[in-house]
Structure 1
C-alpha cells in the first residue's frame, strides 16, 4: 500500500495539522464538551486519511493480441482528392476502403498511422485500439489547398524508418507490415530519396497505388473556393495522374509488392505471404496509474460524523433562540413602566 495524495503532503500538514492540534487541546480543556471535541477530532483525522488517499497498485492487465505491427503510410496531398477511383469517386475513398480491409485481415494486431502532405507526422502511435484507427479513417481528409507546398512521396521516409525500427527493437517477436497508400505524384520538383533503409525492418505489406493514367479532376479543399474544381494556368480543368513507376520503385526498395487499386475489394492476402498471425499475451501499456483506492473507507465514517455534527449544531440553534426569547425583557411592559 502507498499514498496517492489528493493534495501535496505539505498542504495536508499546513491545512489539517493545526485543526488536529486545536481539537486535541479543546478535548482536554473542555471536559463538559468532551464528546463534541472527540467527534470533531475524529472528523479531522478521517479527513487526513482521505487526503493521504491510501491505495494499492494493481498488476498490469494481461490481454491477447496478434503478433503483427501494421503501419499505414497515407498520402493526404491534394491530388488524393482526384475523382478517378471506382468511376468518379475520390482516391481517398479507396484509401479508406483498403485500410479497413487490411484491418479486417489483421484483426487484433497493433496499428500505427503516418500521414503526409506538405509535412509528415505520426498520426497514430502503435496501438491495439482499433476504434482509434477507424476513427482516424472516418475523418481522413486531404490538406488545405491554400497551404499546400507541393508533394513528394519521400516525406514520410524518416518517420516510417524510425517507427518500424523501434517496433522491431521493442517487439522482435512480431511481424512488421507496412502499407503505403498513395498516387505517387511528385510536384515539388525534387528527386525522391530511397526507402531501402527501412526494408530491413519490414516483413510484409504493399504499396497500393490510386488513380489512373488518364487522370482525374480535383476539388479545392478549404478556403472560400472549397468544393470548386481546380484549374490549371490556362483555365482548363486540372488533372492528377497516377505515377506507377515511382510507386513500383518504392515497393522494390521496401521489398514488398505493388498493387494498383481501382475499386473496392480485391484480394490483399498476398501482401501477407509467409506471415502467420497468432495471438500473444501483452501487458497493458496505459500510462495512467493503475491502483485500487481505499480512502472511501475513511470517507464513510467521515460522512456519518459530519451529519452528526450538523444535527448537533442545528439542534442547539432553536434552543438558544428560545432561551434568549425567555430571558429578554418584554418590550411592551418596559414602555408602560417608563410612561408611569
Structure 2
C-alpha cells in the first residue's frame, strides 16, 4: 500500500486541524448535554479524518508481467494525400482518424518494438526513423495534417518507394531482426500513370499488411480551412473512392496480406503472428496502481447524511 496525494497533505492536514479546533471551540460553548457534545465532536472529527485520508489517495501496487517484442522493427507508411481526409471511415469520420487509431493500437500491442514512420503525398518524408521512443512516433503521427489545395498536385502510390527502401535496408542490417510493414492508403493513383513495382522490397519484410482506407461509395472531403472540396469539372462536391485493386497489387508485390481498415484491431492477426515467434519475446515487470480510496468514501457519505439529518430534523449538530 502506498499513497498518491491529490492535494498537499500538509495543507489539507492544517486546514482539517483548524476546522476541527473551531468546531470543538463553538460546540463546547453550546448548552447541550455532555454526551451530545462528545458525539458531535467525534462525528465531525471522523469526517475530517476521512477527508484527509481520501486526499492521500491510498493505492495498492499490482505487479504484472508484460510481454514485449525486442527484435522487431515496425514501419508505418502512411498516405497523406488530401483524399485521406475523405469522410467515410465508420460512417462519416475522416479516414485519417482511423489511421491514427490503428497506429496507436498497433504500437500499444507491440510494445518493445522499434517504430518508423513515412508519410507521402506528391513526395515522401521520413517523419521518424526506427526508434524505441514510441511517444516521438505518436507525436509525428499527430503532426500529419491536411495538405493545402495549392500543394496537392496529385500523387502515385510508389512515391514512398525510396524512403521505404532506405529504412528497410537499415533494418535488414540488424542481426536477428524481424521487419513488419503497414502500408496505409486509399489506393487512389491520381496521376494515372504506371507505378513502380514494390517486389524488390519484399525480401526485407517478415510480415505486415497493406491496409485499405475508405469505401467504394466514397466520401466527401474538406480542405485545411474546413471548406468542401469541389470537382473542378462539375463543381459538385468532390468524392474520393478507395481503389482496392491498386492496394491488392501492392500487397502481392510486397508479399504481405491486404486488409481493409474497418477498425483499429483489423490487423490483430498480424500482431498475433509476430508474437507467436518466441525468439522475439522479452518480459518486463509493470507496476500498476489500484485506487482504494473509495472504501473511505462510503463511511464519509454515511456520516454526512447523518449530519444533514440531524441539522434538518433536530435543529442541532
Category of TM-score, reference length = shorter chain: 0.5 to 0.7
- Which residue is 2:243 aligned to? 243
C-alpha contact (below 8 Å) 1:204/1:271 kept by paired residues:
no
Q: Is it true that 1:157 corresponds to 2:161 in the alignment?
A: yes
Deviation, structure 1 residue 65: 6.5
Q: Secondary structure at the match of 1:155?
A: helix
Map 1:135-154; keep pairs closer than 5 Å: 135-154=139-158
Q: Secondary structure at the match of 1:70?
A: strand
CA RMSD, 1 decimal: 1.9
C-alpha contact (below 8 Å) 1:177/1:202 kept by paired residues:
yes
Q: Where in structure 2 are there 5+ consecutive unaligned residues? A: 1-67, 284-317
- 1:172–1:136 distance in 2 versus 1, CA, 3 Å: same
Deviation, structure 1 residue 145: 1.9
Q: Secondary structure at the match of 2:106?
A: helix
C-alpha contact (below 8 Å) 2:158/2:195 kept by paired residues:
yes
TM-score (norm 2): 0.64
Deviation, structure 1 residue 148: 1.0
| CA offsets 1:186-208 (integer angstroms, 9 cap, x no match) | 10121111110100000001011
- Which residue is 1:100 aligned to? 104
TM-score (norm 1): 0.60
Map 1:156-195; keep pairs closer than 5 Å: 156-169=160-173, 171-195=174-198
Picking from 110, 118, 121, the partner of 1:114 is 118
Picking from 202, 221, 242, the partner of 1:199 is 202
Q: Who wins on radius of gyration, i.e. which is larger?
A: 1
- Which residue is 2:300 aligned to? none
Q: Is it true that 1:91 corresponds to 2:95 in the alignment?
A: yes
- Which residue is 2:136 aligned to? 132
Q: Which 4+ stretches in 1 moved above 6 angstroms?
A: none
C-alpha contact (below 8 Å) 2:105/2:264 kept by paired residues:
no
Q: Secondary structure at the match of 2:159?
A: coil
- Which residue is 1:66 aligned to? 70
- 1:166–1:267 distance in 2 versus 1, CA, 3 Å: closer
Size of the alignment, in residue pairs? 213
| CA offsets 1:144-177 (integer angstroms, 9 cap, x no match) | 22111102110001110121012111x1311000
- Which residue is 1:252 aligned to? 252
- 1:78–1:204 distance in 2 versus 1, CA, 3 Å: same
